Amino acid sequence: MIIGNIQGLTADSENKSGSNCSSNHIELTQMGKEMNVIDKVILKKIQSKVSHWFDLERSLAKVPNSYGAVEGSPEKSWPNPEKIPLGGEVPFSIKNYFIVGKYLKSSIHQGVKAIQSLDQNPSTPKSTISPDDLDTFENQAKTLGIGVIGYAKLPRQVIFKDRAVIYDNVIVLLKEMNRDKIAKAPSVETFKMVMGTYDSLSKTVNTLSGYLRKMGYGAQGGYPLGGLTLFPPLAAAAGLGWNGRHGLLITPQYGPRQRIAAIYTSIDNLPFSKTNNHAWIGDFCDTCGRCIRTCPAKAIHKESLIHKSGRRTHITRDKCLPFFVNKQGCTVCVKECTFNRKNYEDIQKSFLHMQEKRVSKNH
C-alpha cells in the first residue's frame, strides 16, 4: 500500500504528450538563442558537473552486491543534463543561478562527495548497533538540525533505474523548512531558503555518514537534491508520514514543509517501521483539493495520471516545472497545503469524526 501510493514530481516524466514535448523544445531553443556567450559558458560548466555526478551515480550499479532498480522502478528524469545549456531545467536557468547558484554548486559537490567517500567505509563494517550507539547517533543528528528520524528496509521499487545503493537498511532524515519564508512563496526569499535547506541537509548527510563510519558502520549518504531513490515513499515506508496529492510527504511535525534525505547503512538491527498510521491522509486529500485550486500553473489534478510503468501521480510535470523555473521556485503547493495551514492532529480529529458520522448516517 505504501509503495503503491508513490506520487512524485521527480520521476513524473511519463505523462508528457508529444505536443507538449515539441512546444517545450521550441521554447527551450528560443531561450538558448537569447542567452549571451557568458551565460552559455556558465550553463555548459554546470552541465559538465551534473553529467560527471550522474556518471558516478550510474557506476554504483556495477558495485558487487549493490541493490539496483527492479521492474516498476521510476526513471530519474530530473535534472536532465541535456536541458541545462538551454536554461530550461529546474532550477538551472541563468536567472536562478544568480539567486541560488551557490547552493546548487554546493549541493552538487556534496552529491559527488557522498559517492566518492564510499571507499572510506570500514573493510568489514559492523552490522549490529547497540542502543547506546543509536542514541548517540540520533542525538548527533538532532544537534545538526535533523528534526525527525525514521528507519526502513529499502523497498527496491523506489530506486531509480540505472542507479543503485550499497545497503538496504535505511535511516530516513527530515529537516524542516522555515514556515515564515514558506508563507512568502513565490519569492526570492523563499527560493533561497528552499535551496539552502537542500544544501545544508546534503552536508549533514555526509557528516553523519562519516560519523557512522568512525563508529565502525558502513554508510552511504543519500543526498536530498536528486537522490538515488524516491524519498516521499521511502519516508512513508519508515512510518513518518504519507504522500499528498501534490506529491509531497505530509508529516505530523511539519505537514508538507520538510526536505528528506537518507543514509543507507550496514546496520541491520535498526528499529524498522512495520506500520504506517498516516494512510488516512490519502482519503483526506481526496476530499480536500486545495492544492488543485491554488496551484498557479494548474499542474495538480483531481484524477490520477497513469504512466507507462503503471505508476499513478496527480502532477503534470510540463506545467509545473516551467512555472518553477520562472517564479523563484514557486512552492505555492507547500504554502497552501491544508497541513501547512492547520494543525495535523486537529485535521485528523475533524476528518475522522466526519467519516464516522457519514458511516453512522448510512447505516
Peptide bond into 85 cis (omega under 30): no
Predicted TM-score (pTM) of the model is 0.89
Domain ranges of the chain: 3-358
Give the Cα separation of 303 and 245 in Å (integer).
10
Q: Report the interhelical angle of 188-214 vs 131-143 (nearest 10°).
A: 150
The contacts of residue 193 (CB under 8 Å, 6+ apart) are 177, 178, 181, 182
Q: Residue 85 — φ and ψ, nearest 5°?
A: -65, -20
* Helices marked H in the chain: 18-34, 37-59, 94-116, 131-143, 179-182, 188-214, 231-237, 280-288, 290-294, 317-326, 332-336, 338-341, 344-362
Instruction: Count the neighbouring beta carbons within 10 Å of the beta carbon of residue 46.
Output: 21
What are the pLDDT tens digits along the chain (363 aa)?
333 333 343 444 343 334 444 445 444 444 455 678 989 999 999 999 999 999 999 999 999 999 999 988 988 888 889 988 988 787 888 888 899 999 999 999 999 999 999 999 999 999 999 999 999 999 999 999 999 999 999 999 999 999 999 999 999 999 999 999 999 999 999 999 999 999 999 999 999 999 999 999 999 999 999 899 999 999 999 999 999 999 999 999 999 999 999 999 999 999 999 999 999 999 999 999 999 999 999 999 988 887 666 667 888 888 888 888 788 889 999 999 999 999 999 999 999 988 887 777 776
